[in-house]
């Protein structure tokens, strides 16, 4: 679980080239320079060096170019010998390994452009300003947002005060100072909207409710187990007839005909109230899951 602070744009899918050599080291720092002596990578931690072999622990990593910091990574806890071996191997495989956990990427520059790749884990890209500050320049459905979020968690984000487009890959959450967007389309964001749409559709646009429901799915609740929780808390009627009528009204938007209520009650009798709720939710009758897949789901912090 690393925290990456970007002082300039850096594409973690890129290749830094080879020819790195140690330019200085002590018990807490190892500096490496590339063959052109323009880039410096600094590993920080606690180290013991014996010839070319390094042992100990890596806690941080930073890259600078011509004396200007590009990024720093903190929060690492890596075996130094393994890190050395990975670093000397394939360049991209090293970054994929380094960023395989749940990482936070803090944007501390306007010089963003290109691809942000979070690799494995659940990764968050953080912008410093409130979402409202970006309302005219970053709008998830507007002209300056490039709505090409495909399946999974890829997409593009453009800011007016960033002249270039930021593409994200393997980034699950984009966070502003006051709200966030979850990009894991088909995952917990869609389930959150399906659940609210079934249980309390008047709250679909409540960003704080979305946050609270999302927490349940993020912590491992299934749709059916969360529906059971809603029943236990009496968020929905608990007699079969009233439940069937209420859920039909919620997802269809009009009262259910008597025959339909009877058919739904028959379903509940042979399954369960929670199973009925979950089954209806996963039909996403009143939730645009395609739109969520394309644009993500906004929620409150």
Q: Which parts of this chain interact with Ca ion (CB under 5 A)?
A: 99, 103, 118-119, 121, 123
Nearer to Ca ion, 119 or 216 (CB): 119
Please report how close the Cβ of residue 3 comes to Ca ion at its closest, in angstroms.
11
Nearer to Ca ion, 60 or 197 (CB): 60
Phi, psi of 76 (to 5 degrees): -85, 155
Contacts (Cβ under 8 Å, ≥6 apart) of 203 = 196, 209
Please report how close the Cβ of residue 98 comes to Ca ion at its closest, in angstroms.
9
Contacts (Cβ under 8 Å, ≥6 apart) of 224 = 274, 275, 277, 278
Q: What are 86-94's contacts with CB under 8 Å, separation 24+? A: 87/20, 91/15, 91/16, 91/17, 91/18, 92/13, 92/15
> Which tokens belong to 231?
């029943």
Please report how close the Cβ of residue 221 comes to Ca ion at its closest, in angstroms.
23
CA distances from 96 to 64, 86, 114 (A): 20, 10, 17
Nearer to Ca ion, 34 or 123 (CB): 123
Nearer to Ca ion, 103 or 224 (CB): 103
Please report how close the Cβ of residue 100 comes to Ca ion at its closest, in angstroms.
6
Please report how close the Cβ of residue 103 comes to Ca ion at its closest, in angstroms.
4
Nearer to Ca ion, 3 or 49 (CB): 3
CA 290 – CA 191 distance, rounded (Å):
12
DSSP 8-state secondary structure symbol assigned to residue 98: H
DSSP 183-241: --TTTHHHHHHHHHHHH-GGGTT-HHHHHHHHHHHHTT--HHHHHHHHHHTTSS--SHH
Please report how close the Cβ of residue 61 comes to Ca ion at its closest, in angstroms.
14
Nearer to Ca ion, 1 or 242 (CB): 1
CA angle 271, 223, 263 (to 5 degrees): 35
Measured from each CB, the residue nearest to Ca ion is 121
Please report how close the Cβ of residue 156 comes to Ca ion at its closest, in angstroms.
19
CA 290 – CA 293 distance, rounded (Å):
5
Nearer to Ca ion, 105 or 134 (CB): 105
């Amino acid at each position: 679980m690393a925290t990456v602070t970007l002082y300039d744009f850096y594409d973690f899918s890129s290749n830094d080239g080879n020819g790195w050599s140690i330019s200085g080291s002590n018990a807490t720092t190892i500096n490496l320079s590339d063959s052109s002596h323009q880039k410096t990578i600094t590993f920080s931690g606690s180290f013991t060096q014996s010839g070319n072999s390094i042992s100990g622990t890596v806690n941080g990593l930073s890259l600078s170019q011509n004396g200007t910091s590009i990024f720093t990574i903190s929060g690492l806890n890596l075996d130094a010998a393994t890190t050395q071996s990975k670093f000397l191997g394939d360049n991209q495989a090293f970054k994929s390994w380094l960023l395989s956990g749940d990482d936070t990427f803090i944007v501390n520059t306007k010089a963003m452009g290109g691809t942000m790749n979070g690799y494995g884990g659940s990764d968050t890209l953080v912008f410093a300003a409130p979402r409202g500050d970006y309302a005219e320049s970053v709008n998830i459905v507007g002209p300056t947002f490039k709505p090409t979020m495909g399946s999974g968690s890829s997409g593009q984000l453009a800011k007016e005060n960033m002249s270039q487009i930021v593409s994200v890959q393997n980034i699950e959450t984009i966070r502003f100072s006051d709200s966030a967007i979850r990009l894991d389309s088909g995952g917990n964001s869609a389930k959150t909207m399906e659940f609210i749409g079934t249980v309390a559709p008047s709250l679909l646009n409540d960003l704080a409710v979305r946050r609270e429901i999302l927490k349940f799915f993020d912590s491992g609740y299934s749709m059916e187990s969360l529906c059971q929780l809603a029943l236990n808390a009496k968020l929905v009627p608990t007699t079969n007839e009233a439940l069937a009528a209420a859920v039909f009204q919620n997802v269809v938007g009009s009262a259910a005909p008597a025959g339909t209520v009877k058919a739904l009650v028959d379903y509940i009798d042979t399954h369960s109230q929670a199973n009925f709720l979950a089954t209806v939710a996963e039909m996403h009758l009143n939730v645009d899951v395609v739109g969520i897949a394309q644009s993500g789901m906004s929620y409150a912090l």
